[in-house]
Each structure stands twice: as C-alpha cells, then as structure tokens.
Chain A
Amino acid sequence: ASAGPGSAAMASGTLSILRSDSYAELSQYRDQHFRGTRYDQERLLRKSCTLYVGNLSFYTTEEQIHELFGKSGDIKKVIMGLDKVKKTACGFCFVEYYARGDAENAMRYINGTRLDDRIIRTDWDAGFKEGRQYGRGRSGGQVRDEYRQDYDAGRGGYGKTVQCQ
C-alpha cells in the first residue's frame, strides 16, 4: 500500500463501536476463594476457556448442559456442581471448551437464555480446581440457597434458613 495521508493500515482498521463485545467481558464477580492476586485472577479470566453456569435446576443433567452449550463449540468437559454433604446436583456447573472463541460465543448467545425453563447465567471462570465443584453454603448447597426467601421448586423449595424455621 502506498504511503499518503491517512493510509496507514487502512484496509484493516476498525471502529470502536464495532468492537463492542459487552457480553464477552469480565463481570464484576471475583472468586473470593481464589488463591493468588487479583491481577493473577483477571489474567486467567481473560484467557480462560471455562465458564461458570448458574441458576440451573437441581434436576438439570450433564446431557442437557452438553446439548445446549455444544451449540457454541466443542466441549472439553462439563463438571456438575454438587452439594458438599449430599453429593447431589445443587444448581451450578462448569463448562470447559477447547477454544476460547467457543466460550465467548456461549457468553454472547447462551448466557441469559433458558435451560429447563430457567434463565441461566454464565460467567468467566479462572479454571476448575478440585474442590470447586462443591457448594459453599453452610448447609452444603450454594450460598444463594442458604438465605433465599422465595420458593423455587427447581432448587429444593425454600432457602435453607427458611426451611429450618
């Protein structure tokens, strides 16, 4: 390409309004149990191929998750989230892809849509480590199910504190 005013890398330039990719950005959430600095965590999140998936029904199976998330690319692994005590599904999972681009597409097009009639939420995860498949609530499930006041048939009914009343 010949030099001239404004010709530098012309055919490959882009516009910031077209670069916008808000669905694939990092959320505000940071895992408090992460071992390492905030900086380390964010570096891992930015190159991760693993997604956390939340608001699943306790009855949603690995097969259903595989079918839905397989629509954005080849899945390397699905790890179901388990109640620490009962070792049964407690409403979340991790989905790992082979390629980050496939995970990005899941964030763009599967996040915020329905699985088992529930709107599911996906977020970047720094990477699965043994132990992270367990809920961190005091009763064994997820924290959000400890204090929940509403009745959710797909997530064991009332929250744990309500149940104990």
Chain B
Amino acid sequence: AGQPHKRRRTSEPSEIEERLESLICRVGEKSNSSLESNLEGLAGVLEADLPNYKSKILRILCTVARLLPEKLTVYTTLVGLLNARNYNFGGEFVEAMIRQLKECLKVNMYNEAVHLVRFLSDLVNCHVIAAPSMVAMFENFVSVTQEEDVPQVRCDWYMFAFLSSLPWVGKELYEKKDAEMDRLLSQAESYLKRRQKIHVPMLQVWTADKPHPQEEYLDCLWSQIQKLKKDRWQERHILRPYLAFDSVLCEALQHNLPPFTPPPHTEDSVYPMPRVIFRMFDYTDDPEGPVMPGSHSVERFVIEENLHCIIKSHWKERKTCAAQLLSYPGNNKIPLNYHIVEVIFAELFQLPSPPHIEVMYTTLLIELCKLQPGSLPQVLAQATEMLYMRLDTMNTTCVDRFINWFSHHLSNFQFRWSWEDWSDCLTQDLEKPKPKFVREVLEKCMRLSYHQRIIDIVPASFSVLSPANPVCIYKYGDESNRSLPGYTVALCLTIAIKNKASNDEIFSILKDVPNPNQDDDDGEGFTFNPLKIEVFVQTLLHLAAKSFSHSFSALAKFHEVFKTLAESDEGKLHVLRVVYEVWKNHPQMIAVLVDKMIRTQIVDCAAVANWIFSSELAHDFTRFYIWEILHSTIRKMNKHVLKIHKELEETKARLARQHKRRDSDDDDDDDDRSTDREDGPLEEQIERLQEKVESAQSEQKNLFLVIFQRFIMLLTEHLVRCETGGIDVFTPWYKSCIERLQQIFLQHHQIIQQYMVTLENLLFTAELDHHILAVFQQFCALQA
C-alpha cells in the first residue's frame, strides 16, 4: 500500500521470486476461506509455475522448512499436495532437504537441523516419504549414541532430533514399524539412563524441586514420549491440515529417504548446550480457564516449542510477535496467556544466557498487556508473585534478571504494586533473598526515576529497604574536618579548579601533599602516594558531582593528573577506593566512572577485578551493582581483544589483496625493491598488530585468572571458617558467592574454554575443596 504502481512489463526474476515467496509465506493469512482451500489454491499455482520456476520454489520451500517451524504442518501439507500432483518434484524436494540437512550439520546449525528433521518426519504423514525409510534414518541417528570418544552433546543432539519428531510422526511410524520403533525406544532409554548429568545444577533456575522439578531437557522429553506411547500415540493438539486431504494424499506415490549417514564428529563441531526445562505453572494456577496440559504431556512440549519458534521468528517486530503469540491456535482449549508468560520467562531466565536481549522481553510483555488488557496483566502479576515466593532457591543470575525486568516493567506502569503483600520480607535478615530482592528492585526503580518518588511509592514500613539518597560524600567538605591531613590542599585545589587551573598547576599544588608511605620509595623516582590520590580525586569528584557529564568532563580535563597518580597498580586500586568512598550512595555513578576510567586507561581491568574482591568492598560484595561492574569490565576486555583481532585480519586481507593485484599485473617487473617497499608498511603493521593481539589476549587471560583466584581464596576462607566453627556452610552469602562464580563461567564460557588446561592444572586442582571444584566440573560437563 502506498507504493507507486509499477508499469506493466515482463517481471524481473527477483520480482517473481519475491511474489512466490510472499505467496508461500503468507498462505492462509488474512483470508476468508479456510486454510485448506488456500493450500489447495496455492498448490495449483505452484504446480503451474514448476516448469519455469522449479529451483526457486524448491529453495523457498526448503528455507521455509528450516525457518518457519511454527508452521511445519502447513508446509508439509503443501509439499504433500505438490508431490501428489508431481511425483518428480516431490523427489527433488526430498533430495534438496537432505542436502540442506547435511550442510546445516556441517556448519553447526543444529537448531535449524532439528526443524528439518521434524519436517521430513511429518512428510511421512503427508505420504511424501515412506515410513520405513524414515525409521531407517532414525536408526542411524540413534546409533550415534554407540559412537566412542565423542562428546555427549553430540549423541544428545541425535537423540533429541529423533525423540522430538515423535509427537508429529510417532503414531504413523509405530503403526508401520512397531518392532523397529520398540527397539529404538529401548536404545533411547538405555542411553538416557547412562548419560551423565553433572551439568544440570548449573543450568537450573531454582535449586528446589518443589513445586515444579526443573528437569533436564532430554529427561523431560523422554517422559513425554513415554506417556505418548502409553496413550497409543494419540496426539490431539497439533493442527494437521493434511488430514483434510487424506483421500488425495494417500493416492500419492511415496519416496524413500536415501540412506543418511550422520557426518562424523570433527574438531570444529560445536553442538548445542544442554538445557533445563523451565516450568512455573501447572493446571492449578488457572482454575477457571481451560486445563493446562501436564508437564509430561506431549501437548506441553509442542506448545512450548511453537511459542519459542514464534519469538525466534519475530523478535525484531514486537507488535507482530505479540500478535502471533496471541493468535496461536487452540486458544480456547489451552490457557494460552499462561503458556506465553511461562515461555517468555523461560527465555528470560535461561542459563547461560537468554536467546535475545533482555530488554526485548520487557517490551514484548508490555505489548502483550496492551493487546490483552483484561487478562494478561493479571497472569503477569500472578507470575511475579510466584517468582517472589520462590526467591530463596532462585539462581542469583536469574534473580538479577528478575530485578531488571520487574523494575523496568514497573517504571512503565507508574510503579504501581501491592508492596504490602510483601511485608513478610521486612522481618527477615536483610541479606536474605526476599528483602535483598526488594532492595535491589527499589534501587533500580530509583535509577529510572528519582529518590523521593521511591519513598512515596512504598509504604512507610519499607523505608528500611529504600535506597540511599544518591548524594556524594566529600570528606573535606566540613569545617569540622580541618584536622584531616590534606584538608588545606583540598581547599587550595578546589579554588584552583574553580579558577580553571591547568594540569601543571594541579601537579604543583599536589607536590605539597606529604606521603604517608615515605619509606616505600620504589626507586623509580615515583612513589605511590595515597594521600595525593585521596585529596585530588575527592575534591575533583565533589566539584563535578552535578551530573555524569560534569564528572566525565572532569576526568577528561585532568586525565594527565589521573594517569600520573594512578601509574602503579597500587595507585589504580587506590583511585578506585576513593571513587567508592565518595560515591558509595550512588552505585550508578560508581559504575559509569569505572567504565570511563577503563576506557581512558586511567585504571585497567585487572585493577577493577582486584578492587571488587578487596576487603573495602566486602560489605557491598553481594550487591547487584558490583557484579554489573565486573561483567561490564570483562565485556570491555573481550571487545577490545576482538577489535584488535579484527584489525589484524583486515590488515592481513589488505596485504593479500595487494599481493594478488601485483601478481595479476605484468610479470616482467624485476624491481623487487619497489614491491618490498609497498609491502613494508603493511607487513610492519601486521607485526605490530600481532604483538598487540598477543598482549591483549594475555591481559584477557590474566583477568580471568585473577578473578578465579580471588573467588577461590574467598570461598576457601569461608569453607574453612565454617568447618572449624562447626557452622553450616550454606549461608546466603555463600550461595550468592558460589553462584557468582558459576556466573563467570556461564557468561563467558566461549572465552574460558580456551583456558581449560591452565585452569585445571593451576587453579581447579584436586586439592581444592569439593564445593568449589564442583562448579568447575559442572562447567566442563557443559560441552563434554
């Protein structure tokens, strides 16, 4: 609509492809006729187009099979109708799908490969593929579990691909080949019994099994398939348009799948990580509505798969995504709002990371509330209440995400909430999960508004949990502090800075500051003078306290002074300590200052890590903002390494292009010196960049080693203290700390994989307390 009308002429090939793609992708949308009659019409159109556009149609259908799994049965029906009309086309499609499947497996696209396998298996229901040949393929899949010296995650994938297709095709395969299927299922059972599940605790959102066990994904699927088998493979949820065409389809000739050998495991193979199934609702949660399918029903599996696929398809378009979720078929037979909310929280809380950026889920839930204002907000409130109730056993990383989501959500609804319902947390120790959660939520709410607003929105009884007024603490501010060492210099500095002093003038004022470490001259002519740092940083930050921009300007203007004062490692650490002392009421300010200081190289990442584990910060160690700072620091380090690496690759590519150009030019050029000259600067650059990459990678590895080392020291101290004192190890602090260690592994797992040997030999050795070692072992099990 609104596009200028094109002149009538012979259409371009790309236009035809677009039209075909649109017809296929939008079949059944916005139509008054039934889906079945739309499919019949489309099959006719495509059949007529086959002589001229067969390869385009093949490509589109294969892509749809791979990328629109939520519409699986719509497109298998379409292929079935086409096969009935054109047997050769059916054969070519099957061949193309097998080629695509092989390619996906080669390039580690395992999630999309599952959709292809499921599509192929549903083609059995459409009489395109003969059941025995599908069973044969599954036999090859299951035999992967017999392979030796392969990662468990490889066998897991082939098992998952087999089992997760059964909701669609189990009935048909069992009817045609029950003995073979029984054999496959018994092989599946024995594999599932013997596979190791060390990784499970690391991936569970809650550590408790009540009210809903957090099951490992293959275990859950197996229970669902067993139940399906017990129900004689009767499955009533999946929409199967092909049933309406049974008379046409059963006349069609079927194709046999070519024998499929799973590609062998290689060094480059990266299989999907195991998962834990997130469940928060059951049939008791919506007593008035339709009954929620049980956790081991195959309906539950199919609904969840399809809702996840819808989010994956439309994550960029929040309105479309919300509309597609809400128009999922079966609305009046299942409590759809509950399923949607559960699936969204499943993604938000997924470990190691959510599939999409966290803020997407907040906005998606808001869109859903807009579309269903009479029902969805209530489900969401119910969900929030349930999550709150179960905070005691919720993984710390998931609590972080809950805090971020809830505070951001409230900020869109005038912070309206029934806080009194949560008064139970007021009587608990402030370090316990529930009061801690409320404190962190209120702090985040304040960041999105302002201090007085938060005081106003909570009942007076909640004041003990309210955040501090984010004001700066200037130790030299009061006349009563004039006896403090450095007080007069601070006054001097204040006046100088207000009078737009230069860096040199600042240096000369600071020269007068005595050094409490007088005897610790490091011989290089420069000594670490904590008092100088204190006076300068306190004064400057106080003067620039008005806003982030003021503080950033101050850091930029006096960068030279900062660099000099913080030249040594101790200097860097002390700068961070003073920043904390000044701004401990304003964690957000601390975070942005630390970020700026890293980016302008006033402090380095290792200094930040050491500061976080220092005794001065012990009091704030379990606060959310500390971990935001640490993870942000690690991410900056990672991005830095990637950036230099990219520069190196680009320069290498430039050199290669230069060589290619020279080689393709005239060969009678004997002037070697001139060609060397051309290469020279680039080759030098590459050498320099190579060094830069190595040094950055070494800094990165060192950062992780420092962090792990400090964790081990801290946890060991606690464990020893508890053992000798005879007290229970499992304090709120300990739970938080050990889960923070897990979080490091999970959030940066790809990078840490590179250090496995060092970690095993240096840090996570057998002598380590088993509580700490278990975290490392669980991490190893993730890709084992």
Number of A-B contacts (CB under 8 A): 130
A23 to B359, CA, bound (A): 15
Type the 1/0 row for B69-102, where 1 means its CB is closer than 8 Å to any CB of A: 0000000000000000000000010011001101
Which residues on B sit within 8 Å (CB–CB) of A6?
54-59, 62, 96
On whether the beta carbons of B317 and A20 are closer than 8 Å, the reply is yes
In the complex, identify which listed stretch (A48-56, A113-121, A124-132, A140-148) lies at the interface while the others stay far away.
A113-121
CB pair A109 B67 closer than 8 Å: no
**Contacting pair B548 A10 (CB below 8 A):** no
What's the Cα separation between A18 and B63 when bound, in Å? 11
The reply to whether the CB of B18 lies closer than 8 angstroms to some CB of chain A is: yes
The reply on A68 being an interface residue by CB < 8 A is: yes
Which of A37-45, A58-66, A149-157 faces chain B?
A58-66
Cα A10 to Cα B281 in complex, Å, equals 39
B357 an interface residue at 8 Å Cβ cutoff?
yes
Q: What CA separation (Å) do A13 and B363 show in the bound complex?
A: 29
Q: Which residue of A lies closest to B404 (CB)?
A: A71
Contacts of A117 in B (CB 8 A): 414
Q: Across the interface, do A64 and B104 meet the contact criterion of CB distance under 8 Å?
A: no
A67 to B102, CA, bound (A): 45
Within 8 A of A (CB), among B1-59: 18, 21-22, 25-26, 54-59
Whether the pair B68, A116 counts as a contact (CB closer than 8 A) is no
A7 to B449, CA, bound (A): 54
State whether the Cβ of B491 lies closer than 8 Å to any Cβ in chain A. Answer: no
Which of the residues A5, A68, A72, A114 comes within 8 Å of B58, measured between beta carbons?
A5
Contact with A along B243-273 (1 / 0, CB 8 A): 0000000000000000000000000000000
Q: Does B320 contact A (CB under 8 A)?
A: yes
Give the complex CA separation of A72 and B363 in angstroms.
12
Q: Is the CB of B58 within 8 A of A71?
A: no
Task: Kindly list chain A residues whose C-beta atoms are within 8 Å of the C-beta of B67.
Answer: 14-15, 18
Determine the distance from Cα of A10 to Cα of B67 in the docked complex, in whole angstroms: 12
Given contacts A15-B25, A16-B21, contact A10 B59 (CB under 8 A): yes
**Could you say which residues of chain B place their CB within 8 Å of the CB of A2?**
99
Cβ of B475 under 8 Å from chain A = no
Q: What 1/0 mask marks residues of chain B from 340 to 374 whose CB sits below 8 Å from any chain A CB?
A: 00000000000000000111101100100000000
Residues of chain A contacted by B358 (CB below 8 angstroms): 71
Query: Residues of A contacting B448 with CB < 8 Å?
Result: 64, 67-68, 115
What separation, in Å, do the CA atoms of A23 and B592 have in the docked complex?
28
B95 touches A24 (CB 8 A): no
Give every chain B residue within 8 A of A11 (Cβ-Cβ): 66, 100, 103-104, 107, 109, 112
Separation of A71 and B102 alpha carbons in the complex (Å): 39
Which chain A residues numbered 59 to 109 have a C-beta less than 8 Å away from chain B?
61-64, 66-68, 71-72, 74, 78-80, 105, 108-109
**Closest residue to A71 on the B side, CB-wise?**
B359
Residue A36 is within 8 A (CB to CB) of chain B in the complex: no
Contact between B99 and A1, CB atoms less than 8 A apart: yes
Contact A5 B54 (CB under 8 A): yes
How many residues of B are in contact with the other chain, CB < 8 A?
Answer: 61
How would residues 611 to 626 of chain B score, 1 for a CB under 8 Å from any chain A CB and 0 otherwise?
0000000000000000
Q: For A68, list chain B residues within 8 Å (CB).
A: 408, 411, 448
Type the 1/0 row for A1-35, where 1 means its CB is closer than 8 Å to any CB of B.
Answer: 11011111011011111101111100000000000
List residues of chain A with CB within 8 A of the CB of B592: 66
Partner of B357, one of A7, A61, A105: A105
Partner of A24, one of B60, B316, B414: B316
Q: How far is the CA of A100 from the CA of B741 in the complex (A)?
A: 31
Inter-chain contact B62/A10, CB cutoff 8 Å:
yes
Given contacts A5-B54, A71-B408, A108-B318, contact A18 B359 (CB under 8 A): no
Closest B residue to A112 using CB positions: B363
Least CB distance from B364 to A in Å reads 8
Pair A10/B316 contact, Cβ less than 8 Å: no
Task: Say yes or no: B447 contacts A64, CB within 8 Å.
Answer: yes
Q: How far is the CB of B642 from chain A (nearest CB, A)?
A: 11
Q: Does B64 contact A (CB under 8 A)?
A: yes
Q: Which of A64, A79, A108 contacts B360 (CB 8 A)?
A: A108
- B753 interface residue, CB < 8 Å from A? no
Kindly report which residue of chain A lies nearest to residue B592, judged by CB atoms. A66
Query: Across the interface, do A23 and B316 meet the contact criterion of CB distance under 8 Å?
Result: yes
Question: In the complex, what residues of A have CB within 8 A of residue B100's CB?
Answer: 7, 10-11
Q: Is there an interface contact between A109 and B363, defined as CB atoms closer than 8 Å?
A: yes
Q: Which residues of A contact B359 (CB under 8 A)?
A: 71-72, 105, 109-110
Cα distance, A23 to B57, chains bound together (Å): 30
Q: Which 5 A-B pairs have the closest CB atoms?
A: A6-B58, A6-B59, A67-B447, A71-B359, A109-B363
A sample of 11 cross-chain residue pairs with beta-carbon separation below 8 angstroms, ordered by A number, consists of A1-B102, A5-B58, A6-B96, A8-B59, A10-B100, A22-B317, A63-B588, A66-B588, A74-B632, A105-B359, A109-B362
- Given A7-B96, A21-B316, A67-B588: 15 more A-B contacts, CB < 8 Å: A6-B56, A10-B62, A15-B68, A23-B318, A62-B548, A67-B447, A68-B411, A72-B359, A74-B595, A74-B636, A78-B549, A80-B549, A108-B318, A109-B357, A114-B412
